Structure 1
Amino acid sequence: MLTVQQRIEDICTLIFEVANGNFDYRIDSTDDDDELNAIIQGVNMLGEELKTSTVSRDFMQSIYKGVIDMLFILNKDLSIRSMNEVACQILQYKEEELKAANIAELLCDPQGELIKYVQAEIAEKGEAHIETCFTTKDRREIPTSINFSQLINNQNEVDGILIIARDITEQKEAERQLILAKEKADAASEAKSRFLFNMSHEIRTPLNGILGFTELLKFTETDETQDEYLELILNAGKNLNRLLNDILDLNKIEQDKLVFEKKNFSIRENITFCLKPYKFLAEEKELTFSFHIDNSVPEYVISDPTRLNQIIINLTNNAIKFTENGSIDVSFTARRLSSSKMVLRGEVTDSGIGIPLEKQALIFESFTQSDESTTRLYGGSGLGLSICKKLTQLMHGDIGIISPPVHQAQGSTFWFEIEMEYTTQSPVVERFELDVSKFKFKEEYNILVVDDSDINLLRAKVTLEHLGAEVTIVNNGKEAIQLVKEADYDLIFMDIQMPVMDGYHAAEVIREEGYDKVIIALSANASRDCIDKCNEKGMNDYLMKPYESVELLNMILKHL
């Protein structure tokens, strides 16, 4: 048993050792509940705390030196307790200058909103993250990503806040360059779209006159040679129009602006009507042409008949173009996905030149053909298959090729699949099978045609008068408004792009003046935005140039 004096001497030694950094030095306490024993336990605990603090301090110092980001330790009031050398270097402050500061003084936060947000986040979650700028001593701003997190001591109490701040100047500059590059790309894309739109309009307007007067010539008495020449002109014009549509559709797809209809129609009737002309084209080349619609294909569906026809026409036209001898066979089947959905599968098989295996992956790319040599026998833009692929994908399907087909020595089978909806409801029939050359209205309609193109005005006037209508023509919307005030018209065909006053404004004013009959937009622009705007301005329907005489007649019969 140690005497009191001996215990006091041991306590003095313990205090001396701990004071000189020997934090592992210990003396044992006794079971006595006296003041000396309490001192021994207290100094032992102090040594343990100092040892832990020293280890932590040394550990933190190594972190301070190793971290390439700015690192701060804050007190709970956000004053700076310590920082690493990187923070001093980047912010250009001395250590003693930063220790005298509050972190809020270094941030670009004039209203104090960020600090309030950080304090609220730390109080709720124990951490926070913001992106802002640090301000250097010479008032430069450095974009920084900052993480705040609480520091917890051994008593599980919040002892401060740790900040790790990364200089993101290069990242922000890269983001800025990406934004600039995107803006330039968007501007270039928009410029391309405007160019295509304007060129399309400029080409479609005279093309409408060419096709229109060619049709009118066919209504007159002509000999066999003249009929053949007129048919060649019509086919060439329709091919040019199809190419324009392909280019514009490709541009819409690239800009994600292609709009699909959801229309109730007879799919069997639609396919038959779509393929009818190609039977004659094939027979002209002395090819056998057949098509078959399986019983699995329902009578009525809900989908976009125009896009379906676009796919069928492209594949069938290609098959005829690339086949010199033999046959073309088109078939359709369907498989049910659910009680309301199905997949339509179409196959177009030909006995033509076929597609080499190494080229089969390329033919669905834009402006690509299997034979790109300058001496190739077959022309074309290389857009058709690319558009078909994009259309089938947008209609939740796919497209592919088998070449040569099963059980054939040569040729190709192009197949496509698209999703559709079943319906048992019969559609409203909007198409009329009419011979325009012999058709006459039962009553005399008074029709106003507004267009800035003299050739298109003349074409419309001759066609409508041939059908038995009384026709008035004017060159701009302002003249049209005046005429509507003076006479009663059963129907107005309104061009959109015109000098003096465009069709949008004219239709709007005419409606405000109380005209409540039919106004039909007549334009070379077929964009969804244009069609929607026509509806907003009070127009009843839309007819795109170039149009065939039967389309003009059908539009009138639809509304009158």
Structure 2
Amino acid sequence: MAGSDAVHGPNRRAAATRLDDLRQLRRRLLFGGGALITVLVLLTAIVSSIADVEEFHARERHSFNEARAAVEYYLLQRDRAYATSINGNDVLWRDQRPGLVATGAALAGRFHAQGEEVLVRAEGRTAVPWLVLGLKNNPLPEQELAAYLGMVDIYSAYTADSITSQNAAGPLLVYAYEPQGRLLAVSNIRDESQLLQTLGVATRQQAFARLLHEEAQVRQVPPRPGPIREAAREGRLLSRYDINPFTGQPSLVGMVTLAEGTSPYFRRVVFESIGTIKAQLEAREQGRYLVTTADRQVVLSTGGLTSREQNLLMTLPSGNAGRAGAQPLRRYSHGRFVVACRLPGVDWTLGHVYDWSDVWRSQGPYLLARALSALLIIGLLWWLLQRIDRRVFTPALADASRVYESEALSRVIIGTAPIGLALLSRSNGEPLLQNDAARQLVETVHEAGEDTTLPPLYARLAELGRNASIDEVLELQWSPAESGTATQLQISMAQATYYEQPVWVCALRDVTAQVELEDNLRRAREDSEAARQSAEAANRAKSAFVATMSHEIRTPLNGVLGHLELLARSPLQPGQRERLDRIRFSADALMRIISDVLDFSKIEAGQLDVEPVPFALRPLIEGVALLFAPDALRKGVRLYFTVDAAVDQLCVGDAHRIRQILTNLVGNAVKFTESGRILLRAEMQGGAGRDTQLRVQVIDSGIGMSPEQAAQLFQPFQQADASVSRRYGGSGLGLALCQQIAQAMGGQVSVESTEGVGSSFTLLLPMQVQALQPPPMQPLLGRRVTVLSSTPEWRAEMERLLVAWGANTTLLDRPKNGDEGGDALLIVGDHRAWSNEEELQLMQGYARTVHAHAQGPLSAEARGDRIEVSSYASEAVLEALGPGESVDGRPPAATPAPVPAASEARGRVLLVEDNAVNRELIQQQLEEIGFAVDTAENGEEALVQWQDGRYRAVLTDINMPVMDGYALARELRQRGQSLPIVAITATALASERERCLAAGIDDLLLKPLNLERLEAGLARWESSSGKVERKPPTQPVPRTVSAAIRRIFVDTGDKDLQSIADARAQGNASYLLERIHAFKGALQMLGEHSLAEQCGAIERDLRDAMPVDEEALDALQAALQARLDDYRRDLEQPS
């Protein structure tokens, strides 16, 4: 290979040189040609633009010539008109002199008589008056005077018809005088005073001097004898720019010389308006023009010349404008183009100016179009060149470069490859080319002492190539004759040509170590698969254990809790009911502990389910506090709770899981706190919507923990240390379960603790909130309530609660003199810092006294001179403080047992349950809530007694002999039955619900099952199968309540029922809530707990802004009316 590199090294350098030459040639062809074309395009655009500018200059020159022609034509016509007038005057003076004298002789007398002054006016309407004045000190001979007066008479007759007069804007002012200054005639002037006033002089001599001041200049131009053709050239017309002395307006002044031969005999001066010339100019061309005199006076300007442009035209030397009729002068100065020329017959110069802005306004679009076209062409050209370079030349050069690089790289790869590569001649197996790896491999497997030209391995490979297929990788176990170990080779071969010689391309790899490794891995995989199967078997056993434990534990608990609930609905004394309630709370606690164990197993099995639903947080917090209040009280630990006002709204979350966490945290706080207090605090953090978080803290003054103990607290089966386990018991499972449940809901549990001081556990959960619709009522609006408590925590919490209910609240830490009293006195807590006498004295000022303490009943009860309730039941506190009830001081009556609903009041259901105890319990529960029940032990027996249209719903267990609940549901669905099928099971696995839905089961209820959940589960599906109104049972009226209170109940009940009907008709949910709440309080005080529970259910729906079943409201109204009728009949009977 080294030799090969030495041979091909110069070739690679030559290839690189050729590539560089190609790249340079590509640059010359593409980019050099592109640059040349770009220059040509730019030159073309520049030449074209210059041509456009030159075209504009040509148009401007043409416009100037047109304007010049217009002014010159006007002057030429004027000159000819004057020449004609002069010739006519000369003929008249020469040939008709006697007639003039005769006409003037008649005027001469008046002339002399009026002091050398006469007003001459010929006959006719168009005659123009002429004032003729003379000088007494320099009179004319009479014959000449008469001839002049006759001439003026003719002027009077024909002045208005002259061309000059017709072109004038107003009355034409012309004056004439005798060259010696002895006679002056002025048109359109009636007397000398008008003339003097118009000229602004005082005497006639001054007037003569004013009008004849140019005579000396005119005499310098000798007139030629007539007849004439050009008045100005033949010395008969002298034109100049001056101010009209009569009007003060700029005018073209024409001084006409009338001569007899070469001797002037009369001069006539005519004033023509400059506006006439300007109009002629503007009518022909629109542009910036300026007409100036030889002494640089501005005659006229057009087109809005700027002062700078006007100065530029005026500074042109008059001689540079050329003589009249010559080519105009063109000049460029200060960014402006100037064209000027002299005008014939006058000493005027006509100038025209324009600048680059005019060029741009005229030619800009064309110049811009050419520039854009050039840029576009150049851009397209270079884009095309770049595209050709990128798509053609660059890939071609890259391909060529890659070919050379690939060849070089291939040689490097072959030389450095860790596998052996060799080219073997197909004829004899001789190696033509091989790398070091192949050489070393051949030497490794070469037989010791062998000295042959062709290695046996290559001979063997050539034989394999001739006899075997070359489409697959071959493996060869090569064992040299004298070697004790075998080498496993992996061989790949392919046919090729090398220097026109057929060869085998051979790839050789020693895979001995790999084969051994694969054998080891195969054995490891077999061991791993066995371990996996063992783990899966253990996991299945765990899942089976969870299912079995869930079923086996929940089934007997279902019997315990169910029968306790039925017992609660039987007649009991308040004390008995209180004990029963606490038994039920303890049973529920047992159920929660068992659920913790099962939940932890479900978490490990990945089967924990979280079901977010709307719920109210305050009842949940109060329920947790109430559960542990007896234990805390026994230990002398004060248990408080505080709920932020922002929490009094609907939250969306898994209330069961939250209660499960809080029960564990509060239970631990009670367990590890020997004295002091425990505070359960709930509040909302963050903004509204998805950013809201629920923060619940459990703060205790217990034993506390060190940082090391707190760090391992959330590990399963871990406690602070062994002494804690020995002293307080417990498995250490609860906090780990709490943390995992919190994390499943997107939150966490954290702890802050100081050893010997106490601990603070914080539950932080993301929480959606829903505002109550309608907004919460204020049932105590306007009522004055005084809170008396020695505990700041209770005072703060009760104040927050009472303010939310609308009460006017006063807080007292001990009774005080001078208290004004109010509607109710609320005494909170078990610890008092005052005497009974002080308390009794304070009670005198209040209509009602309510004592809320840890051992108080869950519903308001009258005990002696006060009403007692639990401090952990806000609804009971509200009932005790609410309006409309009174206490007569008698001990409360035993709660009457609810009479079971009439058979088939709500229809008939089919109950399928294999366990006789559970079947009997569920049957009693169904009958308790108003259903008639048919029972069956399994699915097959249920199908035997099935009758179409007989049942409203089917309640079935899942795991039963003969035919289970899944098969029963599938069979009913196949028969076309669409009634609700509800499964009742003790298996608490998340997968159970999916299997139920797949089998056609509508809902799943988990044991243990209480009446409320059973009622709610059936109510969800009851409307689909048609609901029958429940007839309210007739019950005996309790006589333990005073007749006065029963009378008040009857009198106000009718009004409240009517108010309920009105509120429903008007859709006023807030007023409906208020009336139902008032009814519930009155019913509880009377001991009508069954009806009170119905009111409470409707009330909860209204408070939670949930849709209320109208049929349920109808049934409630009917039950209330029936009960009012019972009380009314009882009051009418003689006692």
TM-score range, shorter chain: 0.5 to 0.7
CA distance in 2, matches of 1:473, 1:101: 87
Whether the 8 Å CA contact 1:303–1:421 is kept in 2: the answer is yes
User: Is 1:529 equivalent to 2:982 in the alignment?
Assistant: no
CA separation of 1:100 and 1:331: change in aligned 2, threshold 3 A = farther
Query: Which residue is 1:205 aligned to?
Result: 555
Instruction: Give how far 1:231 is off.
Output: 5.5
Query: Which residue is 2:962 aligned to?
Result: 500
Query: Which residue is 1:393 aligned to?
Result: 743
CA distance in 2, matches of 1:437, 1:539: 35
Instruction: Give how far 1:414 is off.
Output: 0.8
Whether the 8 Å CA contact 1:490–1:517 is kept in 2: the answer is yes
User: Is 1:414 equivalent to 2:761 in the alignment?
Assistant: yes
CA distance in 2, matches of 1:377, 1:437: 45
Query: Which residue is 1:461 aligned to?
Result: 923
Alignment of 1:351-430 (within 5 A): 351-373=701-723, 376-404=726-754, 410-421=757-768
CA separation of 1:73 and 1:544: change in aligned 2, threshold 3 A = same
CA distance in 2, matches of 1:276, 1:459: 31
User: Is 1:449 equivalent to 2:911 in the alignment?
Assistant: yes
Whether the 8 Å CA contact 1:439–1:467 is kept in 2: the answer is no
Query: Which residue is 1:558 aligned to?
Result: 1020
Whether the 8 Å CA contact 1:343–1:420 is kept in 2: the answer is yes
Deviations, residues 303-355 of structure 1 (Å, cap 9, x unaligned): 33332222222212222333343322112233337863333222111223333
Query: Which residue is 2:665 aligned to?
Result: 315
Q: Which amino acid aligns with 1:73?
A: L
Query: Which residue is 2:602 aligned to?
Result: 252
Which residue of 232, 253, 277 maps to 2:626? 277
Other structure's SS at 2:946 match: helix
Unpaired runs of 5+ residues, structure 1, are 1-17, 25-51, 65-70, 116-132, 139-143, 151-158, 428-432
Other structure's SS at 2:538 match: helix
Q: Which amino acid aligns with 1:410?
A: V
Q: Which amino acid aligns with 1:500?
A: V
Q: Which amino acid aligns with 1:473?
A: T
Q: Which amino acid aligns with 1:95?
A: L
Deviations, residues 131-171 of structure 1 (Å, cap 9, x unaligned): xx967589xxxxx9x999x9xxxxxxxx8768685443234
User: Is 1:484 equivalent to 2:946 in the alignment?
Assistant: yes
Whether the 8 Å CA contact 1:330–1:349 is kept in 2: the answer is yes
TM-score, normalised by the number of residues in structure 2: 0.35
User: Is 1:194 equivalent to 2:544 in the alignment?
Assistant: yes
CA separation of 1:173 and 1:513: change in aligned 2, threshold 3 A = same
Which residue of 497, 504, 511 maps to 2:973? 511
User: Is 1:182 equivalent to 2:532 in the alignment?
Assistant: yes
Query: Which residue is 1:268 aligned to?
Result: 617
The structure carrying a bigger helix percent of its residues is: 2
Query: Which residue is 2:299 aligned to?
Result: none
Whether the 8 Å CA contact 1:265–1:426 is kept in 2: the answer is no
CA distance in 2, matches of 1:257, 1:190: 12
Deviations, residues 459-503 of structure 1 (Å, cap 9, x unaligned): 112222233321222111111122223661122211000000000
Deviations, residues 391-418 of structure 1 (Å, cap 9, x unaligned): 222333322212239xxx6222111222
Instruction: Give how far 1:96 is off.
Output: 4.0
Q: Which amino acid aligns with 2:441?
A: N
Other structure's SS at 1:488 match: coil
CA distance in 2, matches of 1:102, 1:437: 101
Range 494-503 or range 168-177, more displaced: 168-177
Query: Which residue is 1:36 aligned to?
Result: none
Range 215-224 or range 181-190, more displaced: 215-224
CA separation of 1:57 and 1:209: change in aligned 2, threshold 3 A = closer
CA distance in 2, matches of 1:95, 1:400: 72
CA distance in 2, matches of 1:476, 1:98: 78
Instruction: Give how far 1:58 is off.
Output: 13
CA distance in 2, matches of 1:357, 1:547: 43
Query: Which residue is 1:73 aligned to?
Result: 421
Query: Which residue is 1:95 aligned to?
Result: 457
Q: Which amino acid aligns with 1:555?
A: G
Alignment of 1:279-358 (within 5 A): 280-281=629-630, 284-285=633-634, 287-295=637-645, 297=647, 299-336=649-686, 340-358=690-708
CA distance in 1, matches of 2:949, 2:746: 51
Whether the 8 Å CA contact 1:296–1:335 is kept in 2: the answer is no
CA distance in 1, matches of 2:987, 2:696: 31
CA separation of 1:287 and 1:171: change in aligned 2, threshold 3 A = same
Instruction: Give how far 1:519 is off.
Output: 1.5
CA separation of 1:471 and 1:325: change in aligned 2, threshold 3 A = farther
CA distance in 1, matches of 2:566, 2:995: 32
CA separation of 1:535 and 1:441: change in aligned 2, threshold 3 A = farther
Whether the 8 Å CA contact 2:622–2:641 is kept in 1: the answer is no
Unpaired runs of 5+ residues, structure 2, are 8-407, 447-454, 480-487, 495-504, 775-874, 876-894, 1023-1135
Query: Which residue is 1:474 aligned to?
Result: 936
More relative contact order in 1 or in 2 (CA 8 Å, sep 6+)?
A: 1
Other structure's SS at 2:925 match: helix
Other structure's SS at 1:204 match: helix
CA separation of 1:84 and 1:305: change in aligned 2, threshold 3 A = farther
CA distance in 2, matches of 1:460, 1:471: 9
Whether the 8 Å CA contact 1:302–1:422 is kept in 2: the answer is yes
Deviations, residues 198-255 of structure 1 (Å, cap 9, x unaligned): 1221221122112222333343456788767755654554344223322222222223
Query: Which residue is 2:250 aligned to?
Result: none
Q: Which amino acid aligns with 2:462?
A: A
The two structures, once aligned, show a CA RMSD in angstroms of 4.8
CA distance in 2, matches of 1:419, 1:558: 28
Q: Which amino acid aligns with 2:940?
A: K
CA separation of 1:309 and 1:455: change in aligned 2, threshold 3 A = same
Q: Which amino acid aligns with 1:413?
A: S
Deviations, residues 420-452 of structure 1 (Å, cap 9, x unaligned): 34556979xxxxx9x996486583431221111
Query: Which residue is 1:153 aligned to?
Result: none
Q: Which amino acid aligns with 1:100?
A: A
Range 221-230 or range 497-506, more displaced: 221-230
CA separation of 1:403 and 1:225: change in aligned 2, threshold 3 A = same
CA distance in 1, matches of 2:424, 2:583: 86
CA distance in 2, matches of 1:341, 1:164: 63
CA distance in 2, matches of 1:386, 1:472: 45
CA distance in 2, matches of 1:534, 1:493: 13
Other structure's SS at 1:449 match: strand
CA distance in 1, matches of 2:965, 2:593: 27
Other structure's SS at 1:376 match: helix
Other structure's SS at 1:553 match: helix
CA distance in 2, matches of 1:382, 1:161: 64
CA distance in 1, matches of 2:443, 2:564: 81
CA distance in 2, matches of 1:386, 1:102: 68
Range 221-230 or range 525-534, more displaced: 221-230
TM-score, normalised by the number of residues in structure 1: 0.67
CA separation of 1:190 and 1:399: change in aligned 2, threshold 3 A = same
Alignment of 1:126-165 (within 5 A): none
Instruction: Give how far 1:291 is off.
Output: 2.4
Q: Which amino acid aligns with 1:504?
A: Y
Range 271-280 or range 388-397, more displaced: 271-280
Report how many aligned residue pairs link the two structures.
456
Range 294-303 or range 241-250, more displaced: 294-303
CA separation of 1:226 and 1:304: change in aligned 2, threshold 3 A = closer
Look at both structures and tell me which one has the larger radius of gyration over its CA atoms: 2
